[in-house]
Structure 1
């Protein structure tokens, strides 16, 4: 595929949209340190990735005839566990992954399960009317790792945008706990991030960046002038608006600093940019994973999140069981249906989701850079924010990759409702970000993985 011009017409964008639309898009364009550094160290880079699915998993009771076949969690524990049909597509990655049970966010345990999706990477408090969410762990890492890459992070989802409180369509939240918009249109993602400049000359790109800087400077100046004329409530809104403009300014500076650094050569012949999520969700998800692998291969960013579908039957993911498996019900409906075929249908769909994640792990394992397999240098967490039908405890989680960071896989471990944030603390320390706590953690996760 030929590279195309990726210049965003910010003049039109800034003048054409209001503040309420501008803020989320601007926050998606960058944050963190603007110091440009190149990776000259022989030490392998470390990466972090999160993949989420909604509505929990099928967990037939022990007395059910479906238990040993369709329970998402394995039979047995430790290294001798046996996967059921639900996780069978991942069996080939046993040595590259660990299955975790029992973890959850204490402040989300009493919530309706779908609300807990907002806190999966934050551990924040969204109880009551205050909605006190906090920064997501991926954004904390993005702040630390941003100096190494063209972009601090990629926030992806199947639906795009932010959704709304309690039913978000993004996994990423900024320092103030506000959702960061996710992206979902494959061609736009490729042209924005992977084809900087296209066929334009360096001089033309530099001129465009300078123009962008002038536009942002003018908007910031006008915003500051207006700020002094506003009441307290409006000043708060304007502060958020000006913060979003600052993130745009940072990314413009970043683009300028990376202008003369060529991106690694790459091949897109295997990527299906015509995948239609409303027709073939498996092809769409594979394309998303292919773009994620490509982003890591060229070191575009080292932090990624992907929400495969939204909670509560909202969004495009609700119809995946119908489109992919020919079932008569959607995902959320299946999770509530207590009819005879309930566990079989749910188990088959859990298996389908596992198959998609297995594809991602296959691609990561078989794609190499100068430091070896991408999987060995990337920690990947796959899972959901409730176990089964609105129960926001015992999150189904798979931690994969990271062999070169010292992770030792191959087992299924159960934890006694330990805070999931303890897992995040261990992950942060493994990434070289020394941390004693994150959100409501009580320390590191005591596990055989580390």
Structure 2
């Protein structure tokens, strides 16, 4: 068949892709203006999100499993009682708050797995149009990114973005498009924490200059290709150029930080041999260790981590089998209707809370010039459905941020309030004056923050 004038040479296009893939951290490196590095603020503030899928075990009150394995505590206020599920967090009681009754109104009628796409956005993914919006972490990254080498760090156990309704990322850009996550520990460390791996400062300077040339060449060639594309392909190319623009911004940022040394750190405790398919606990804890290290050296002040994907997809489905010796995967357990499934589900929820407790321990016992990392970091842990597809009453634990004036130590229930009201409070505690976020109706009426 004769080649048409609008046909592209596939090899040429793939060659272009191959070149761009050689640029470190191709996508998700930043958005908006590139800022010059500045000295640390007198009051350090950070934000972190940790997500798990498939909701939690909530045995009904009449069940004898309720007081032992219900995810939410027994009682309210300061005098609440942990069940076995969140018992691993007991030592952090004064550093955290448990929140119930919050959810995203536009997601309440969705199957819970779809609501995972909106956990940090409050966006509208009902119907075919999928009108997602910017995630909270990215709003903060735009403000805080000027102080750090990288505006944010987006991590997951599976990496990439997954696909609509079953994402493997918590982060969405200004247009509501998913931002790819990273998941290979050694690559993350070498990319962000080992600048010496590139040789001398002069060698790294030449590498950055080469990256700039590559980006320029690709942008120039992409404009030529753009004129030969149909409408649908032009839209795809525009997305591609947007990602290139973020790479260009990060190359400029790297230049500005080139002569600014990173704080000294000890990485001897990092377990780069943790195999998620064999020992998920070791893998998750190494991810948390990398996040703590990133806070310690002020690599970034905004982080997200998706422990596993929704709907039994990805590596996280087998965590209950690998970590606890259970016969079923996480999603399967959440749908099991047999009598004993509450204990299986509770044990796995407990295992997840142990990992979160480890993260809080590490932050509490790691200090910088501003105090413990936990004192200056808000960490929200939770899921986008309560139990088996119900996208209401999100299980949420907010920890840290005592130096931001957050008053912890209680369990507070709300009456189906928008989760984005909480986000408005969080933005204001971070010093980002806000009256609204996404579909918020105001601020959350709470004395916690």
TM over 0.5: yes
Partner of residue 240, structure 1: 239
Partner of residue 35, structure 2: 35
- After TM superposition, the structure 1 = structure 2 runs for residues 243-282 of structure 1, keeping only pairs within 5 Å, are 243-282=242-281
- TM-score, normalised relative to structure 2: 0.94
Q: Decide whether the 8 Å contact of 2:24 with 2:191 is kept in 1.
A: no
- 1:326 and 1:229 mapped to 2: Cα distance? 56
Equivalent position SS for 2:212: helix
- 1:22 and 1:182 mapped to 2: Cα distance? 17
Partner of residue 17, structure 1: 17
Partner of residue 98, structure 1: 97
- TM-score, normalised relative to structure 1: 0.94
Residue-pair matches, total? 438
- After TM superposition, the structure 1 = structure 2 runs for residues 309-348 of structure 1, keeping only pairs within 5 Å, are 309-348=308-347
Q: Decide whether the 8 Å contact of 1:31 with 1:251 is kept in 2.
A: no
Equivalent position SS for 1:376: helix
Deviations 1:208-265 (A, max 9, x none): 1111111111111122233234333332222211111111100110111100000000
Equivalent position SS for 1:50: strand
Equivalent position SS for 2:26: helix
Partner of residue 358, structure 1: 357
Equivalent position SS for 1:198: helix
Displacement, 1:203? Answer: 1.2
2:311 equivalent to 1:302: no
Partner of residue 4, structure 1: none
Partner of residue 167, structure 2: 168
Deviations 1:43-71 (A, max 9, x none): 12100000000000000000000000000
Structure 1 gap ranges (5+):
1-11
- 1:223 and 1:18 mapped to 2: Cα distance? 14
Change (3 A) 1:244 1:105: same
2:184 equivalent to 1:185: yes
- 2:21 and 2:199 mapped to 1: Cα distance? 29
Change (3 A) 1:17 1:299: same
Q: Decide whether the 8 Å contact of 2:19 with 2:214 is kept in 1.
A: no
Partner of residue 395, structure 2: 396
Q: Decide whether the 8 Å contact of 1:282 with 1:324 is kept in 2.
A: yes
Partner of residue 156, structure 2: 157
Change (3 A) 1:142 1:353: same
- 2:195 and 2:18 mapped to 1: Cα distance? 27
Q: Decide whether the 8 Å contact of 2:198 with 2:204 is kept in 1.
A: no
Deviations 1:309-365 (A, max 9, x none): 111111111111111111111101111111121101000001000000000000000
- 2:177 and 2:208 mapped to 1: Cα distance? 28
Partner of residue 289, structure 1: 288
Q: Decide whether the 8 Å contact of 2:23 with 2:211 is kept in 1.
A: no
Q: Decide whether the 8 Å contact of 1:94 with 1:410 is kept in 2.
A: yes
Displacement, 1:16? Answer: 5.5
TM-align CA RMSD: 1.9
- After TM superposition, the structure 1 = structure 2 runs for residues 69-88 of structure 1, keeping only pairs within 5 Å, are 69-88=68-87
Q: Which moved more, 1:227-236 or 1:74-83?
A: 227-236
- 2:403 and 2:273 mapped to 1: Cα distance? 35
- 1:40 and 1:377 mapped to 2: Cα distance? 13
Structure 2 gap ranges (5+):
1-11
Change (3 A) 1:23 1:215: closer
- 1:60 and 1:292 mapped to 2: Cα distance? 34
Q: Decide whether the 8 Å contact of 1:24 with 1:180 is kept in 2.
A: no
Partner of residue 51, structure 1: 50
Q: Decide whether the 8 Å contact of 2:117 with 2:165 is kept in 1.
A: yes
Partner of residue 211, structure 1: 210
- 1:228 and 1:435 mapped to 2: Cα distance? 42
2:117 equivalent to 1:118: yes
Partner of residue 8, structure 1: none
